[in-house]
């Protein structure tokens, strides 16, 4: 058995995986589990009572985490002229137009978020097969197609994260690092839940927050009681 598998098994034995934890209790359990040799990301997974096959129940958007993500976010911006200057001044890591499109078409993917000004989308759209599968295609719903590229760069650098439902109606969002204070993780988690409640589709019937789990990068999932949020 590998060290990773051994650590996972040991962590799983530290708590009841079927128990619905209160939020503060769940975070306490997570922070007390055996850790890896790096500062693991804390992932929030929410199973929603939606039908993602219906366009009016597919959710996609962004939410700002009050305590940030704890991760350096590399931002690429498709822009030219004044928008390109503004993006660089705002801290974008990569800025370009035709040259950036060419780099990406050749395999350069050294960024975490891609932002585009509207006038660039005709060219960026040709990169759909490359950016789309990686979740990096700029989209107005996620705030990554905008005339105000500078604000978008600052927002994503400062803790804004994207979310979208998968084919099973689940949403996965990183809400910080294991090293975060418990209060910071709780604050970030509540911000995500509030956002999901805000965008609840009118067509979604029955229980909306069906299942919520927290997990570290290398750790097992910890169930959180949705009724307490």
CATH ID of 16-69+160-228, from 3.30.190.20, 3.40.50.970, 3.30.70.100, 3.30.300.30 = 3.30.190.20
DSSP 208: S
Report pLDDT digits (tens) over 133-143: 998 999 998 99
> What SS3 state is found at 75?
strand
* Percent of the chain with pLDDT strictly greater than 90: 88
- The mean pLDDT value for 86-105 works out to 97
- The ranges assigned to domains in the chain are 16-69+160-228, 75-158
What's residue 208's pLDDT?
97
What's residue 2's pLDDT?
78
In terms of DSSP bridges, do strands 209-216 and 222-224 run parallel, antiparallel, or are they unpaired?
antiparallel
DSSP 40: P
Beta bridge partners of 114: 76
- How far is it, in rounded angstroms, from Cα 94 to Cα 138? 15
- In the numeric block, the tokens 């850790």 are attached to 35
pLDDT beyond 90 at 216: yes
Beta bridge partners of 115: 77
pLDDT beyond 90 at 6: no
Angle at 42 between CA 225 and CA 18, to 5 degrees: 35
What's residue 161's pLDDT?
94
For the chain, how many helices (H) and strands (E)?
Answer: 8, 9
Report pLDDT digits (tens) over 116-138: 999 999 999 999 999 999 989 99
pLDDT beyond 80 at 178: yes
What's residue 199's pLDDT?
95
What's residue 68's pLDDT?
95
What's residue 228's pLDDT?
85
What separation in angstroms does the CA of 227 have from each of 20, 188, 198, 210? 10, 18, 17, 10
Task: Phi first, then psi: give them for residue 190, nearest 5 degrees.
Answer: -65, -35
Q: Quote the mean pLDDT of the chain.
A: 94
pLDDT beyond 80 at 1: no
CATH ID of 75-158, from 1.20.1740.10, 3.40.50.790, 1.10.357.10, 3.10.20.600 = 3.40.50.790
- How far is it, in rounded angstroms, from Cα 84 to Cα 116? 10
- The mean pLDDT value for 93-106 works out to 97
- The mean pLDDT value for 185-189 works out to 97
pTM for the predicted model, two decimal places: 0.86
Strand stretches in 33-165, DSSP E: 41-48, 60-64, 75-78, 94-96, 113-116, 160-164
What separation in angstroms does the CA of 216 have from each of 17, 36, 44, 188? 14, 9, 9, 15
């Amino acid at each position: 058995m590998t060290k990773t598998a051994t650590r996972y098994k040991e962590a799983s034995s530290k708590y009841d995986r079927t128990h619905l934890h209160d939020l503060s209790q769940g975070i306490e359990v997570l922070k007390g589990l055996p850790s890896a040799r790096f500062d693991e990301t804390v992932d929030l997974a929410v199973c929603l009572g939606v039908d993602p096959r219906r366009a009016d129940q597919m959710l996609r958007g962004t939410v700002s985490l009050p305590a940030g993500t704890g991760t350096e976010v590399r931002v690429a911006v498709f822009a030219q002229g004044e928008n390109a200057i503004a993006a660089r001044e705002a801290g974008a890591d990569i800025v370009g137009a035709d040259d950036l499109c060419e780099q990406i078409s050749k395999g350069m993917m050294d960024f975490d978020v891609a932002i585009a000004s509207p006038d660039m989308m005709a060219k960026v759209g040709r990169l759909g097969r490359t950016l789309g599968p990686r979740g990096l295609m700029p989209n107005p719903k996620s705030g990554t197609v905008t005339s105000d590229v500078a604000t978008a760069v600052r927002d994503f650098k400062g803790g804004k994260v994207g979310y979208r439902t998968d084919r099973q109606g689940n949403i996965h969002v990183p809400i910080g690092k294991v090293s975060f204070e418990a209060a910071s993780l709780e604050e970030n988690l509540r911000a995500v839940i509030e956002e999901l409640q805000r965008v609840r589709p009118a067509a979604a019937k029955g229980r909306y927050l069906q299942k919520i789990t927290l997990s570290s990068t290398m750790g097992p999932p910890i169930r959180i009681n949705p009724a307490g949020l």
